[in-house]
């Protein structure tokens, strides 16, 4: 039999052919990673002046790793932007600056403190500053001319988040209208905006908290120390634990306790609660996350518990 005939016979043999071309099955993380990289590249291709929101929290840490995979060895085609409440955990701010410097990427910081000082927002005594970030963010978008802001929000975080498109349209007032969103059939995204309008883009919308931690483990990503169990002084308030600090002092009748805790999410320290935990490694956090039945925001964000629509109302005002 000549070589051509042998080749044809081998190609017609289904067992032999399958052995040669059998595709490798992608893991769940591979699929999510691929989708997110595609979204980041779509932003770079379709938007003229985007920014990536980076707070130093776990979700934005994952976004940075995805951006590395999407664009390295080149620089990111967008700067990093953080809206600093002035109530952030010091460990997270230190990590933010360290990570941006390691990557050699431009970090732009705009401060809620400056918005308060200029009279752009009015702080209510005893209230957190998360909601005040909306004005500072919208001012930064107008100042720097951003037409897209990439954020680390996920649909599993909260009911209002679940209504979001991946490319979330915001009008000229920075407002989000869940009824005025664009279809995203077949992973086709529409980033077209008029002057003054912008898009919020959420590349890890389809990820869960567990996916994030498993990706952190797989990629061996460093995260701020407060995500791991540590002893901290706390008081019990409105059904949760609140960390004692210069901004949060015990009230009359409250008892300060020192407990082993960790933070599932980081933000304004006056309204972000830790959870009791002894999980001191990423693997232990993954095991703990697999058994929890309460979302991270539901368990730890006091400002989200003021009403069932609190997040949606903030988003309609321009929040992330």
Domain shared by 171 and 62, yes or no: yes
| Local structure of residue 85 (DSSP, 8 states) | -
Euclidean distance between CA atoms 129 and 117, whole angstroms: 14
Indicate whether 316 belongs to any domain: no
Whether 278 maps to a domain, the answer reads: yes
pLDDT at 157: 77
Examine the domain organization and report whether 204 and 229 are in the same domain: no
Q: CATH number, domain at 96?
A: 3.40.50.620
**Structural domain for 231, as ranges:** 223-310
Helix locations, 13-144, DSSP H: 14-21, 28-46, 58-71, 90-103, 112-117, 133-144
Partners of residue 52 on adjacent β-strands: 80, 150
The answer to whether residues 143 and 265 belong to one domain is no
* pLDDT for the residue 19: 47
Give, rounded to a whole angstrom, the gap between the first and last alpha carbons of the chain.
Answer: 69
Burial class (CB in 10 A: 0-12, 13-18, 19+), 72: exposed
Same domain for 137 and 38, yes or no, is yes
How many domains would you assign to the chain? 2
**Rounded-to-integer distance, Cα 53 and Cα 151, Å:** 5
Residue 315 belongs to a domain: no
Q: What angle do CA 217, 228, 294 make, to 5 degrees?
A: 85
pLDDT score at 205 = 93
The verdict on residue 20 lying in a domain is no
Q: Which two tokens stand for residue 232?
A: 């901290």
Specify whether the CB–CB gap between 78 and 63 falls below 8 A.
no
Do 182 and 262 fall within a single domain?
Answer: no
Residues 6+ apart with CB under 8 A from 78: 43, 44, 49, 50, 51, 52, 150
71 & 124 share domain: yes
Q: Would you write out the chain's pLDDT as a tens digit for each of its 320 residues?
A: 444 444 444 444 544 444 454 567 889 999 999 999 999 999 999 999 999 999 999 999 999 999 999 999 999 999 999 999 999 999 999 999 999 999 999 999 999 999 999 988 888 776 777 778 888 999 999 999 999 999 998 988 766 667 778 888 888 777 777 777 777 778 788 778 778 888 899 999 999 999 999 999 999 999 999 999 999 999 998 778 899 988 889 889 889 999 999 999 988 888 888 999 999 999 999 999 999 888 776 656 555 444 454 555 555 454 55
Q: Do 197 and 241 share a domain, yes or no?
A: no
Tell me which of 209, 241, 275 is where a domain ends: 209
Question: How confident is the model at residue 1, as a pLDDT?
Answer: 47
| Boundary residue ending a domain (180, 209, 238) | 209
205, 271: one domain: no
The reply to whether 193 and 45 lie within a common domain is: yes
pLDDT at 189: 82
* pTM: predicted TM-score of the whole model, two decimal places: 0.84
Q: Are 203 and 150 in contact (CB under 8 A)?
A: yes
pLDDT at 162: 72
Q: For residue 217, tell me if it sits in a domain.
A: no
Tokens encoding 26: 């992608």
Chain length of the chain: 320
């Amino acid at each position: 039999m000549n070589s051509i005939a042998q080749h044809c016979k081998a190609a017609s043999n289904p067992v032999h052919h399958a052995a040669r071309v059998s595709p490798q099955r992608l893991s769940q993380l591979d699929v999510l990673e691929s989708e997110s990289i595609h979204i980041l590249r779509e932003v770079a291709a379709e938007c003229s002046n985007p920014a990536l929101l980076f707070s130093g929290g776990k979700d934005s840490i994952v976004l940075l790793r995805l951006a590395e995979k999407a664009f390295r060895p080149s620089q990111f085609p967008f700067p990093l932007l953080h809206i600093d409440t002035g109530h952030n955990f010091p460990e997270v701010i230190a990590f933010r600056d360290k990570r941006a410097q390691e990557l050699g990427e431009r970090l732009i910081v705009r401060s809620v403190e400056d918005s308060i000082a200029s009279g752009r927002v009015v702080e209510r005594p005893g209230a957190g500053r998360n909601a005040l970030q909306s004005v500072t963010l919208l001012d930064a978008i107008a100042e720097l001319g951003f037409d897209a802001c990439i954020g680390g929000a996920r649909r599993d975080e909260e009911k209002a988040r679940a209504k979001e498109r991946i490319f979330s349209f915001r009008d000229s007032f920075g407002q989000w209208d869940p009824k005025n969103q664009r279809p995203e059939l077949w992973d086709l995204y529409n980033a077209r905006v008029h002057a003054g309008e912008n898009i919020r883009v959420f590349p890890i919308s389809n990820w869960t908290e567990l996916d994030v931690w498993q990706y952190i483990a797989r990629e061996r990503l460093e995260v701020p120390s407060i995500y791991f169990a540590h002893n901290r002084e706390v008081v019990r308030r409105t059904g949760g634990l609140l960390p004692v600090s210069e901004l949060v002092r015990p009230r009359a009748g409250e008892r300060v306790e020192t407990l082993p805790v960790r933070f599932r999410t980081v933000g304004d320290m006056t309204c972000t609660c830790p959870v009791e935990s002894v999980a001191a490694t990423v693997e232990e956090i993954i095991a703990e996350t697999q058994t929890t039945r309460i979302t991270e925001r539901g368990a730890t964000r006091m400002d989200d518990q003021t009403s069932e629509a609190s997040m949606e109302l903030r988003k309609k005002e321009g929040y992330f």
